[in-house]
Structure 1
Amino acid sequence: MAPVAVASVAVEATLRDLKASVACTSTQTLLDVLTHAASQYPEHELGFVTSSAHDSSIQTKTFSEFAQYVRSLAQVIRSWGKPTGSIVVVYLTEHEENMAAVWACLLAGLVPCLQPALSAQQSHKEGHVAHIKGLFGSATWLTNETGAEQLLSIPDLDIHLFSQLKESASASDPAEFKAHEPKVDDEAILFLTSGSTGFSKAVVHTHRTILAACHAKGENYRLTSESKILNWVGFDHVAGSIEMHLAPLLYGASQVHVHPSAILSDPLRYLRLIEEKSIEIAFAPNFLLAKLTRDLEKRNELFGTFNLSSLRRINSGGEAIVSKTAQAFAATLKNLAKDSNVSCVISAGFGMTETCAGCIYDPIDVLANPPAHEFLELGTPIPGCEMRIVNPEDGVTLRPDGETGELQVRGPMVFVRYYNNTEATSSSFVEGGWYRTGDVGIIENGKMRLSGRIKDTVIVHGVSYGIPELETHLQTVEGVTHSFLAAAPYRAPGQETEGFVVFYSPTFSLDEEDAPAKLYATHRALRDVSVKMITLPPQQIIPIPVNQMEKTTLGKLSKARLIKQFKEGQLVQHVARAEELLSIARGASFVAPSTETEKTLARIYADIFNNNVSDVSASDNFFELGGTSIDVIRADINSGARLKREGEAAFGLPEIPTIQILKHPVLSSLASYVDALSSKGGYQEEYDPIVPLQLTGDRTPIFMVHPGVGEVLIFVNLAKYFQNERPFYALRARGFEPGHPFFGSMDEMVSSYAAAVKRTQPKGPYAIAGYSYGGVVAFEVAKRLEAMGDEVKFTGLINIPPHIADRMHEIDWTSGMLNLSYFLGLITKQDAIDLTNPLRRLSRMDQLDLIWKLSPPERLVELQLTPQKLDHWVDIAGSLIECGKEYNPSGSTESLDVFYAIPLRGSKADWLNNQLKPWAGFSRSEPTYTDVPGQHYTLMDFDHVPGFQKIFRSRLEARGI
């Protein structure tokens, strides 16, 4: 009987899909889509992973539950008394809230307009809201408490809170509600453009255009009622709302919608969701493909662990897809999959807000069919859509196959008009209903690929930003000649995302005496404006004299010509001149060294950095001149001994402690310290755990807590990789300097460190990490900062488990000295093992004497150790051990990033699974566990730190800092 049962199931499935097909073809409006989905597939689900989810938990509603829920919301919305067809600006962040608000508005007879995140710039935000109010002739907003706060400064807005809407809906009876009955050509949903040529336009999509797009997408994707979709694109984007929600809903397909932060903070969540929910179709733009590859391609321990057999296709759009990135991602996916035959179809797509998202696709297995071009082809149109390439000058003359021109599309999924903007609408179409996309493309053998843009936009990580608006703000920078500035999109070969170059004519001559200072200030301002406007600094800023900056006969700068000159190296002399002037720009704050100590240090600085001594200022900062913490402690083959040794020789001092040089990077400050050190009374300063190892750059600083030996010089190799990117501070234990007592408890240490971090960086977000023993201290400091109300975006724990008390009790003075000696490179790991028992039979002084004799002389010189210093150092390490003996972790932080190397004993697998995985109990989101090269005591050395820093940086970027 079993075959009969199977056949029966198959017949039922076929009948179900036939019914679904009939339902699809009978839908006339979007409300029919919801009604049919709820009636045909009441138990199919909409799943949501929110921004506040601390793990991969999914909140779900069945289609039936969701339909009832939005009807109750619609009943309350109708009570607002708005006329049918009124526009409601929906400004929410979570997928479920946005989705529910849109459906509720449609059911109530109102037109939702999805609003992306508002600008952080007050003037731009207020201007945009005023523009929207004027465009719609009304100002009804549906938002959350955070959104309402952003809108407080703007008068005459009718603001409704979604939380209050839900509360009121809970007391309503949706059975009494009669839904609005729209016509097929009524306005359904409005989408706002990026505002690339000023303020946003509102794209009008009707029930007809959206349904046409949904039918065509469904046919192209081969959607059925059994399909399962994974989306993480924001619902305010047409890809998130139409492509990944409405189209699947039309076919009865279940969906999971994930807040972008959940994927960006933990890329593994993307794969876990595909596996857990048997996802068939997912979406991932180029920058996410690149990020997933960077984060996962070397995770050998994860290879072959994911069941990805359900995955049929990954759609990708928003920006051009780099072929190498797609291939690297596909290879990584194959490595991670249990079945090496998993589908690696990546479907690069072209689409716009005006075309209901993707309308041209090319699904291709990039490993089986290696791409022929730098970027993936975009393929052929979806059913009902047409494309052509024409002469951009007249907009109608067809280009032959293989020649570039303006891409135009037409079809029933193309928008009908821009709201209240007939001029923009008419200029967007040519005879025959062809829509002018503004992109430059090529069609060869029936497949299309893009080669540029006519429209002035730059796409950063899939988000389109307007060049004209950026230029308008850049033109206001002091030092820029009016109308002689151009910003042009530029993407270097192999670059993962698009960037831009700024060309401008300075208002001053580059031969002026104060040109360096003026140029420095101008370029700094241009970078700052760019970051504020589009989150990205220019790849290059090139000053060109006015008489060499040619304009067209219409009085415009030719960006195409400037970019061509830049690519061909014709502007290299301007780039070189700018670099020369910027290198001496610090002369604007020049302070002549006055004391003999300052003058001596100025000569040393000049020698180190190959400068004239007359150019060295008393206000010069060692790090800003290009020095690194390594320069302080190591010799350089070109310029001889570094600052430390030259200073000791010049001033006749037995030692200038390395740490004090790092703490006094400004020449005048170091001079004051040297003078105090040389005085008869010696030098005593208040304890400050902060040691700056790198001070250049303006991104979020890193605070790195010392390992169990208390010292921080172990981090100097790592710090150099962050030069000109972000400051790098280390936290050093108390007790190294005379008169400073050891810490008496973990709480005292954490209090001291948290206060020092706040003094150095008064406000979050913070990034803090700790190596070995320092990891648990970093965890406690992060907790303390969060308790103060601060945001800690990154907490890094390097090769340390949460439970250390037992290990601390195992360490006596002898083993502590051996650990320290091995850590400092005085003995080998085997020495440390072999000497453990023999040393315990010796006195403390004899133990020190033996270690001293085994130590390499050059290493002792490099560390400037004496037997007395080594003895004291062992006591410092011992004091930290005492602080850890009673340590029991508790509480949690928002997130944890755990890095693991080969442990001191046991296998790496056991170390990870049994010792490190318990960190999951102390994080409010799923921790990440990242394999790093090297062993416990070697992962920061010269051989391994280059690899470690790449991995470490990728986790910082994943946390958004």
Structure 2
Amino acid sequence: MAPIAIAPTTDTEFVSRNLKTSVVSPLEPNTLHDVIAQAVDRYPLHELGFITSSAHDSSIQTKTFSAFNQYVRNLARAMLEWGKPTGSVVVVYLTEHEDNMAAVWACLLAGYLPCLQPALSAQQAHKEGHVAHIKNLFGSATWLTSELGAEHISTISGLDVHLLSELKASAEKFTVAADWVAYEAKPDDEAILFLTSGSTGFSKVVVHTHRTILAACRAKGQSYGLTSESRVLNWVGFDHVAGSLEMHITPLLYGASQLHVHASAILADPLRLLRLIDEKSIDLAFAPNFLLSKLTRDLEKRTDLYGCFDLSSIKQINSGGEALVSKTAQAFAAMMKKFSKNSVSFLISPGFGMTETCAGCIYNPVDVLATEPAHEFLDLGRPVNGCEMRIVDPADGVTLRPNGENGELQVRGPMVFVRYYNNVEATSSSFVEGGWYRTGDVGIIENGVMRLSGRIKDTLIVHGVSYGIPELETYLQTIDGVTYSFLAAAPYRAPGQETESFIIFYSPTFDLDGADASAKLFATHRALRDISVKMITLPPQLIIPIPVNQMEKTTLGKLSRAHLISLFKQGQLAKHIVRAEELLSQARSVSFVAPSTETEKALAKIFAGIFNLADSEVSASDNFFEIGGTSIDAIRLKREGEEYFGLPDISAIQILKHPVLSSLANYINSLLSKGTQTEEYDPIVPLQLSGNKTPIFFVHPGIGEVLIFVNLAKYFHNERPFYAFRARGFDAGHPYFTSMDEMVTCYAAAVKKTQATGPYAIAGYSYGGVVAFEVAKRLEAMGDEVKFVGLVNIPPHIAPRMNEIDWTSGMLHLSSFLGLVSKHDADDLAPPLRPLTKREQLEFVWKMAPPERIVELQLTLEKLDKWVDLAGSLIDCGLDYNPSGSVSALDVFYAIPFAGTKIDWLNNQLKPWSGFSRGEVEYTDVPGEHHTLMDLEHVPQFQKTFRGRLEARGL
């Protein structure tokens, strides 16, 4: 029998048509086997809905509880064909909610022990180390994954890899009974393994039994008020304990209908969250602090849609992962009220939980608009039924702290994990007498309500992602100027910050009173910042140099982060901070050039306003992007400069070419004296020029512009120059390119003019990938060495796609790329717009575009029209493009495509690049969708991955 087909929902009600809607008695199930059996027996027609990462519309794939049950039991029966003994560990490495969910249930019913594996590191060395670590822990290496996942681990030997697609095919020959199991589980059997968070260090493996999971789920459901009529929306990854236990097994225990959405689908279109709440009458959802903040910022721009959604169904939104900022919660709640056309009243429930506690075990549901929060972060509340909490002295781990005093938070209860897999030492050190688990967090319990005030453990949480501090410290210790073993990085969140940051404390190798102390300190601090940004995407909040004779260590020879943070908060390190600022000011003054001309002084005032500096702090030698400017800041500089100097246009590209204040002033003076003039076309735009490593040349996407690379280029400061190619035709008097050969000839000559000899590193984003490939071929033909060719999300055969793009679809594609319309709207608008004139089409899109985005881009209808024509000229250059020849090596980076699945995109469209490389092609997964992977949200991870491949190629 074929597996149950997955069909999109129709207008039929998303929730169950089943008449049984009473509250489930949570006392009956003793194992997870019982949970799914009970759900099927009582609510066979209730549904599990899924929106995948590749879904670019609102279509939902669904399975009834009954159909899902049959599906996973057939999969479980097929698993037995592997011949693995009962209790074998199976590492589940999948990305989509449904696939993960099905794999976990199949493992359980087959008698295997599933271990959920989050996305592996893009750094090859860390990925291989992690997989070897997991293999060693389990004493085996059985992986269940997708074709894409198999590609990720293909370089690692000794793994027994099974594809989910093959398992599904095998399951088609089985039709087992609706209650079939291969093994009758017992309450204290190990059920699911979870990997602890941490993106740099190797994870511990948390063991949860049927008993611990069910205890947690019963208590959670009671806390949420779940019933079989509830409708739950989840967009946390299933590999996360909150996604699998809190938002799937818990509602399944109570018979609630569920909708699981891949996070990218919401992040790409925040309005989708509101549409789903409206259309599916969602009453419970989950969102961490940083996503609530992002949603609020994104949605507040859409004032045109206020009052357009029925959000009255939403009753509670849970939040975890990091502390929830009170103002963020209030702003989000207020925004929801504005968008709802009906009265809306819901609770935001921050919670505390860990992988070790089956996610949340302490909650504080509160109406943040009706009750003014007492603290900067929302209190975390009281424990669920069966859970206890206490605050103790962290020094001994047992002495209770009085009401209202902070200390180490400990919890205990039936939902706490039983052990770390194959790690007796870690298990033992995590508990104290009485079964209390040491969470590693610093908290306060006041009148029975808990809130956190810090961290003890070696992790830093940035936007919900945990980073290992020890590995960061290891790299920072290698910097010239740092005394080895006298450096500590400690998590710290300043008042008003949306997410956690950190402070670096260290002892310099040089005398802070020496003659050259200022120059050495400046270089050391710059290096500390650079490595921090490259490793964890965030610069330190503060760097404090402390003379080695004043840096105290414990009796074990370690620096105490908690002690250092305490000294900082008490002001006892103020003299060191002041001394550092004196030295850094001296270093800056050496290169400081006071603005002298009226134009320089005016620009200094604009710079100061953008970066919140005093006018006197801005030097004529300051580089706009090196002191923190982004692409949006550049647009603001352009707009304010035009207004102040009375100029009709200061080209954004000239700001990129003249980022130093004095140079920009000279350019503006030339405009003031001669008016707008046609300059000789130079395809290369230097986005940053510091660093001694091999420069990177990046070719523009199909829109021709390079502003999209500004945020990426910043990560290469003091490492390597970053140049971008800008298409010809933006400026008056410059004709469009008429052929691929003309463009490649121009760009190759510009590379040689900029960097006379190799080795070269060339990359291209989207359309620019094939141009980069051709430029690399041209350089090799000249006898030069090209060690790196990076192609970002573009197949070799682009002509079929180019021939499908008419003026209307090209205009909509550009408008989507620029953020004038959503990707969803761009797809839907093409047919109704085609009968209109070009002017009417442009005006239609213009009216849809967010006004603030038009201002940011400094667009006019005429500029947009010209931009569409320029993009069309690039399409014309690719109409007959047919790749040939080869280069020495290729790196292909792939993200979610415009249409279809990521796997099909990789295997059917991108893999043919292997025929155009003389060496092995590396295919590397990167986050985001095709048009968002360079956005601020995704570029921090992209730059780490991209840099890793440059280094792997020896650059």
Q: Same fold (TM over 0.5)?
A: yes
Q: Secondary structure of 2:101's match?
A: helix
Q: Look up the match of 1:273.
A: 276
Kindly indicate whether residue 277 of structure 2 is the aligned counterpart of residue 283 of structure 1: no
Greater Cα shift, 529-538 or 228-237: 529-538
Q: Do the aligned partners of residues 115 and 578 (structure 1) sit closer, same or farther apart at CA in structure 2, a change above 3 Å counting?
A: farther
> 1:675-714 to 2 correspondence within 5 Å?
687-689=681-683
Greater Cα shift, 686-695 or 195-204: 686-695
Question: Deviation of residue 220 (structure 1)?
Answer: 1.0
Post-superposition Cα deviations, 1:519-548, rounded to whole Å, max 9, x if no partner, equal 566445434543454333322333333234
The one of 137, 140, 145 aligned to 2:147:
145
Question: Deviation of residue 516 (structure 1)?
Answer: 6.8
CA distance in 1, matches of 2:563, 2:29: 51
Size of the aligned set, in residue pairs, is 771
Q: Look up the match of 1:105.
A: 107
Greater Cα shift, 514-523 or 756-765: 756-765
Q: Look up the match of 1:232.
A: 235
The answer (yes or no) to whether the contact 1:230–1:281 under 8 Å persists in 2 is: yes
Question: Deviation of residue 387 (structure 1)?
Answer: 1.4
Q: Secondary structure of 2:425's match?
A: helix
Post-superposition Cα deviations, 1:825-883, rounded to whole Å, max 9, x if no partner, equal xxxx9xx9xxxxxxxxxxxxxxxxxxxxxxxxxxxxxxxxxxxxxxxxxxx99995995
Kindly indicate whether residue 93 of structure 2 is the aligned counterpart of residue 114 of structure 1: no
The answer (yes or no) to whether the contact 1:544–1:574 under 8 Å persists in 2 is: no
Identity %: 61
Question: Deviation of residue 430 (structure 1)?
Answer: 1.9
CA distance in 1, matches of 2:637, 2:17: 73
The answer (yes or no) to whether the contact 1:290–1:325 under 8 Å persists in 2 is: yes
CA distance in 2, matches of 1:757, 1:148: 40
Q: Do the aligned partners of residues 345 and 42 (structure 1) sit closer, same or farther apart at CA in structure 2, a change above 3 Å counting?
A: same
Q: Secondary structure of 1:364's match?
A: coil
Question: Deviation of residue 189 (structure 1)?
Answer: 0.4
Q: Look up the match of 1:37.
A: 39
CA distance in 1, matches of 2:119, 2:711: 36
Which residue type is aligned with residue 226 of structure 1?
A: E
CA distance in 1, matches of 2:443, 2:200: 21
Question: Deviation of residue 326 (structure 1)?
Answer: 0.6
CA distance in 2, matches of 1:699, 1:332: 43
The answer (yes or no) to whether the contact 2:696–2:763 under 8 Å persists in 1 is: no
Question: Deviation of residue 182 (structure 1)?
Answer: 1.0
Q: Look up the match of 2:483.
A: 481
Question: Deviation of residue 175 (structure 1)?
Answer: 4.1
Kindly indicate whether residue 936 of structure 2 is the aligned counterpart of residue 957 of structure 1: yes
CA distance in 2, matches of 1:324, 1:763: 42
The one of 540, 544, 552 aligned to 1:542:
544
Question: Deviation of residue 609 (structure 1)?
Answer: 8.8
CA distance in 2, matches of 1:48, 1:425: 37
State which structure, 1 or 2, has the greater radius of gyration over its C-alpha atoms: 1
Post-superposition Cα deviations, 1:666-712, rounded to whole Å, max 9, x if no partner, equal 99999xx9xxxxxxxxx9997335556887999999979999xx9x9
Post-superposition Cα deviations, 1:692-739, rounded to whole Å, max 9, x if no partner, equal 6887999999979999xx9x9xx99x99999999989795764968xx
Q: Look up the match of 1:763.
A: 763
Q: Look up the match of 1:64.
A: 66
Question: Deviation of residue 414 (structure 1)?
Answer: 1.0
CA distance in 1, matches of 2:652, 2:123: 43
Post-superposition Cα deviations, 1:357-412, rounded to whole Å, max 9, x if no partner, equal 10111111010011111111111111111112222222222222222222221111
The answer (yes or no) to whether the contact 1:542–1:574 under 8 Å persists in 2 is: no
CA distance in 2, matches of 1:202, 1:626: 40
Kindly indicate whether residue 20 of structure 2 is the aligned counterpart of residue 16 of structure 1: yes
The answer (yes or no) to whether the contact 1:690–1:756 under 8 Å persists in 2 is: no
CA distance in 2, matches of 1:493, 1:700: 41
> 1:181-580 to 2 correspondence within 5 Å?
181-195=184-198, 199-339=202-342, 341-509=343-511, 522-567=524-569, 568=571, 569-577=574-582, 579-580=584-585
Post-superposition Cα deviations, 1:577-625, rounded to whole Å, max 9, x if no partner, equal 46347648989xxxxxxxxxxxxx99x9999999xxxxxx9x9978659
Which residue type is aligned with residue 39 of structure 2?
A: A
Q: Do the aligned partners of residues 658 and 335 (structure 1) sit closer, same or farther apart at CA in structure 2, a change above 3 Å counting?
A: closer
Post-superposition Cα deviations, 1:256-282, rounded to whole Å, max 9, x if no partner, equal 111111112221111111111111110
Q: Do the aligned partners of residues 89 and 668 (structure 1) sit closer, same or farther apart at CA in structure 2, a change above 3 Å counting?
A: same
Kindly indicate whether residue 110 of structure 2 is the aligned counterpart of residue 88 of structure 1: no
CA distance in 1, matches of 2:817, 2:186: 54
Q: Secondary structure of 2:167's match?
A: helix
The answer (yes or no) to whether the contact 2:681–2:734 under 8 Å persists in 1 is: no
Q: Secondary structure of 1:118's match?
A: coil
Q: Do the aligned partners of residues 626 and 370 (structure 1) sit closer, same or farther apart at CA in structure 2, a change above 3 Å counting?
A: closer
Post-superposition Cα deviations, 1:53-82, rounded to whole Å, max 9, x if no partner, equal 112211111111111111121112111111
CA distance in 2, matches of 1:766, 1:519: 41
CA distance in 1, matches of 2:338, 2:652: 46
Unaligned runs of 5+ in 2: 1-15, 606-618, 668-676, 755-760, 769-790, 802-812, 843-853, 879-896, 901-930, 941-955
Q: Do the aligned partners of residues 720 and 210 (structure 1) sit closer, same or farther apart at CA in structure 2, a change above 3 Å counting?
A: closer
CA distance in 2, matches of 1:418, 1:466: 18
CA distance in 2, matches of 1:744, 1:254: 55
Kindly indicate whether residue 817 of structure 2 is the aligned counterpart of residue 795 of structure 1: yes
CA distance in 2, matches of 1:606, 1:67: 71
CA distance in 2, matches of 1:473, 1:668: 36
Q: Look up the match of 2:735.
A: 742
Q: Secondary structure of 2:373's match?
A: coil
Which residue type is aligned with residue 16 of structure 1?
A: K
CA distance in 2, matches of 1:284, 1:755: 48
The answer (yes or no) to whether the contact 1:351–1:360 under 8 Å persists in 2 is: yes
The answer (yes or no) to whether the contact 1:143–1:160 under 8 Å persists in 2 is: yes
Q: Do the aligned partners of residues 748 and 504 (structure 1) sit closer, same or farther apart at CA in structure 2, a change above 3 Å counting?
A: same
The answer (yes or no) to whether the contact 2:725–2:747 under 8 Å persists in 1 is: no
Q: Do the aligned partners of residues 299 and 27 (structure 1) sit closer, same or farther apart at CA in structure 2, a change above 3 Å counting?
A: same
TM-score by length of 2: 0.69
Q: Look up the match of 2:11.
A: none
Q: Look up the match of 1:6.
A: none
> 1:633-652 to 2 correspondence within 5 Å?
none
Which residue type is aligned with residue 336 of structure 1?
A: F
Which residue type is aligned with residue 437 of structure 2?
A: Y
Q: Do the aligned partners of residues 429 and 631 (structure 1) sit closer, same or farther apart at CA in structure 2, a change above 3 Å counting?
A: closer
Q: Look up the match of 2:10.
A: none
Greater Cα shift, 27-36 or 570-579: 570-579
CA distance in 2, matches of 1:53, 1:182: 37
Q: Secondary structure of 1:350's match?
A: strand
Post-superposition Cα deviations, 1:488-524, rounded to whole Å, max 9, x if no partner, equal 1011111111011112223344577776776566445
Q: Do the aligned partners of residues 194 and 886 (structure 1) sit closer, same or farther apart at CA in structure 2, a change above 3 Å counting?
A: closer
Question: Deviation of residue 767 (structure 1)?
Answer: 12
Q: Do the aligned partners of residues 94 and 572 (structure 1) sit closer, same or farther apart at CA in structure 2, a change above 3 Å counting?
A: same
CA distance in 2, matches of 1:699, 1:495: 34
Q: Secondary structure of 1:294's match?
A: helix
Q: Secondary structure of 2:202's match?
A: coil
Post-superposition Cα deviations, 1:433-489, rounded to whole Å, max 9, x if no partner, equal 221212222112221111112222211122232322322332233442111100010
The answer (yes or no) to whether the contact 1:194–1:466 under 8 Å persists in 2 is: no
Kindly indicate whether residue 186 of structure 2 is the aligned counterpart of residue 180 of structure 1: no
RMSD: 5.6
Q: Which has the higher contact order (CA 8 A, sep 6+)?
A: 2
